[in-house]
Amino acid sequence: MHLAFQANSGLSVALIFLLFYLYHGIGITLGYHRLLSHKCVSMPKWLMYFIVMGGYLSFMGSPIVWVAMHRSHHQNTDLAKDPHSPLHGLFHSFIGWMFELSKYLSNDEIKQQTKDLFTDPVWRFLGTKNCYKQGLLCLGFCTLYRCLLFCIGGVNLVIINIIACCAVFISTQLVNVICHKPQAWFSYRNYPTNDNSLNVWWVGILALGEGFHNNHHHNPKSARHGLRWFEFDFTWLVIMGLKKLRLVWNIYNTKNLNDTYTTHSLDRLENLETTKL
């Protein structure tokens, strides 16, 4: 018999939804994206695994495959080889690319892109190739996790968690769709990057700071995406909170909003003007 879970008020349901949304959302924005893909920040391994698991348990699949896909996106932004550009169609950039990833990225290219992650046995265990096995493994862990939630709080807790994960999935995919559209509502650019990347404030709020995507494409090494006073970057606030607790270090931050350096090359991105905190 599971412990009693009393989601008997709208407020408690909303609070639990928010906690799940933030844990799984941060798993993607901080874990998969800023930490593993761009190495904008360093932290202890236990904390890194805890944060990345938030993304993994929201059905994001192998971190190695995700990171390879994302690095390829930065190297080929809005070009034919970009895995999820809206230039290939809005449905493709929202979800279709997941079923066609092998058209854009071979397993050899995945290995080439992520040599740094291959040194970690946990990331290797979660899958090094774009294949059904790593998808099934992720599905298995996601199912086990929800069984655990069921034991703790019954079916209500599981339903709230799944709805929160669906919301996280939609908000993060909106970055691919909306922030690379040639035109989007309430969008603007701070930098003249040589791609279609946009800052979209409402995607920024929903995707915990990832919607300030033109800032990000200008300087992918920066852990901070929201640069102007109204660019609310929740993931950056989390990083600053962890810094106060002395749990993160080597934090890269964009130095100068007026810096107009642009590039598609990851090697050259390492040389962008950033400052370590």
Chain residues that interact with Zn ion, rule: CB under 5 A: 220
Measured from each CB, the residue nearest to Zn ion is 220
- CA–CA separation, 175 and 97 (whole Å): 14
Helix (H, G, I), strand (E, B) or coil at 275: strand
Give the amino acid at 149: L
At closest approach, how far in Å is the CB of 220 from Zn ion?
A: 5
At closest approach, how far in Å is the CB of 28 from Zn ion?
A: 11
At closest approach, how far in Å is the CB of 70 from Zn ion?
A: 6
Are residues 111 and 152 in contact, defined by beta-carbon separation less than 8 angstroms? no
Are β-strands 187-188 and 199-200 bridged in parallel, bridged antiparallel, or unpaired? antiparallel
At closest approach, how far in Å is the CB of 149 from Zn ion?
A: 30
| Residue number with CB closer to Zn ion (63 or 220) | 220
| Residue number with CB closer to Zn ion (37 or 130) | 37
At closest approach, how far in Å is the CB of 59 from Zn ion?
A: 20
| Residue number with CB closer to Zn ion (19 or 116) | 116
Which of 47, 102, 75 lies closest to 245, judged by CA? 47
At closest approach, how far in Å is the CB of 8 from Zn ion?
A: 41
Burial 125-146 (b: 16+ CB within 10 A, else e): ebbbbbeeebbebbeeebeebb
What DSSP line would sit under 128-178, residue for residue? SSSSHHHHHHHHHHHHHHHHHHHHHHHHHHHHHHHHHHHHHHHHHHHHHHH
| Residue number with CB closer to Zn ion (55 or 220) | 220
10 Å CB burial of residue 47 (0-12, 13-18, 19+) is: middle
| Residue number with CB closer to Zn ion (153 or 211) | 211
